[in-house]
Amino acid sequence: MTELRLPRGLRDYAPENYELLELVRDAFVEEATLHGFQMMEPSSLELLSTLEAKSGPNVRDEIYHFVDKGGREVGLRFDLTVGLTRYYCSDRSLPKDLRLAAFADVWRYDEPQRGRYRWFYQWDVEIFGPRSPLADLEIVLLSNDLLSRLKVEVEFVVNDRKLTESIIRESGGENLSEEAVVEAFRALDKLDKRTKEDVMREYELKGHDPEILESVINRAESGDYELTDRLMKITALLRDMKVPFRVDPRLARGLDYYDSFVFEAKSTTHAELGSLVGGGRYDILTRIFGRPDSGATGAGGGVDRIVEAMRGIPRVRRKEVAVVYPSESEGYAVIVAETLRREGIAVHLPIHDKEVSIQRAFQDAAKKYDVLVMAGPKEAADGVVRIKMGPGDEILVPLRDAARELATTLGVWGKQ
Residues 32-91 interacting with a copy of itself (rule: CB under 8 A): 33-36, 38-47, 49-50, 53, 64, 66-70, 72, 74, 83, 86-87, 89-90
State which of residues 116, 190, 352, 386 lies at the interface with a copy of itself (CB under 8 A). 352
Burial 292-313 (b: 16+ CB within 10 A, else e): eebbbbbbbbbbbbbbbbbeee
State which of residues 15, 173, 314, 392 lies at the interface with a copy of itself (CB under 8 A). 15
State which of residues 176, 181, 310, 335 lies at the interface with a copy of itself (CB under 8 A). 335
Q: What spatial distance separates the first Cα and last Cα of the chain, rounded to whole Å?
A: 42
Choice between 240 and 272, CB closer to a copy of itself? 240
Q: Binders of a copy of itself among 210-249, rule CB under 8 A?
A: 233, 236-237, 240-241
State the nearest-atom distance from the C-beta of 69 to a copy of itself, in Å.
6
State which of residues 97, 155, 224, 229 lies at the interface with a copy of itself (CB under 8 A). 97
Binding mask 168-207 toward a copy of itself (x if CB under 8 A, else -) reads ----------------------------------------
- Give me the sheet containing 98-107, strands edge to edge: 38-39, 98-107, 119-129, 295-302, 275-281, 261-267, 154-160, 245-247
Dist. CA 331–CA 325, nearest whole Å: 9
* DSSP assignment letter at 373: E
State which of residues 114, 311, 317, 342 lies at the interface with a copy of itself (CB under 8 A). 342
CA quadruple 265, 135, 225, 168: dihedral positive or negative? positive
363 marked as part of a ligand binding site: no
For residue 15, give the 3-state DSSP assignment: helix
State the nearest-atom distance from the C-beta of 366 to a copy of itself, in Å.
16
Choice between 105 and 189, CB closer to a copy of itself? 105
158 lines the binding site for a copy of itself (CB under 8 A): no
Choice between 176 and 407, CB closer to a copy of itself? 407
DSSP annotation string for 147-197: HHHTT--EEEEEEEHHHHHHHHHHHH-TT--HHHHHHHHHHHHTTTTS-HH
Dist. CA 334–CA 340, nearest whole Å: 10
State the nearest-atom distance from the C-beta of 252 to a copy of itself, in Å.
25
Helix axes 15-34, 303-310, angle to 10 degrees: 110
Helix axes 210-222, 196-205, angle to 10 degrees: 150
Choice between 15 and 312, CB closer to a copy of itself? 15
State the nearest-atom distance from the C-beta of 287 to a copy of itself, in Å.
9
51, 61 in Cβ contact below 8 A?
no
145 lines the binding site for a copy of itself (CB under 8 A): yes
* DSSP assignment letter at 126: E
395, 327 in Cβ contact below 8 A?
no
Dist. CA 184–CA 200, nearest whole Å: 9
Dist. CA 196–CA 220, nearest whole Å: 13
State which of residues 55, 110, 116, 141 lies at the interface with a copy of itself (CB under 8 A). 141
State the nearest-atom distance from the C-beta of 414 to a copy of itself, in Å.
5
State which of residues 205, 271, 316, 351 lies at the interface with a copy of itself (CB under 8 A). 351
398 lines the binding site for a copy of itself (CB under 8 A): no
Rounded to 10 degrees, the C-alpha dihedral 360/363/365/366 comes to 160
For residue 239, give the 3-state DSSP assignment: helix
349 lines the binding site for a copy of itself (CB under 8 A): yes
Q: Where does this chain touch a copy of itself (CB under 8 A) — which range of 99-107, 218-226, 254-262, 397-405?
A: 99-107
For residue 103, give the 3-state DSSP assignment: strand
348 lines the binding site for a copy of itself (CB under 8 A): yes
User: Which residue, among 221, 215, 125, has the nearest Cα to 171 in the 3D structure?
Assistant: 215
Tell me, rounded to whole angstroms, the distance of Cα 333 from its chain centroid: 41
360 lines the binding site for a copy of itself (CB under 8 A): no
5 lines the binding site for a copy of itself (CB under 8 A): yes
126 marked as part of a ligand binding site: yes
38 marked as part of a ligand binding site: no
Residue ranges for the known binding site are 79-81, 108, 122, 126, 253, 257-258
Residue ranges for the known binding site for L-histidine are 79-81, 108, 122, 126, 253, 257-258
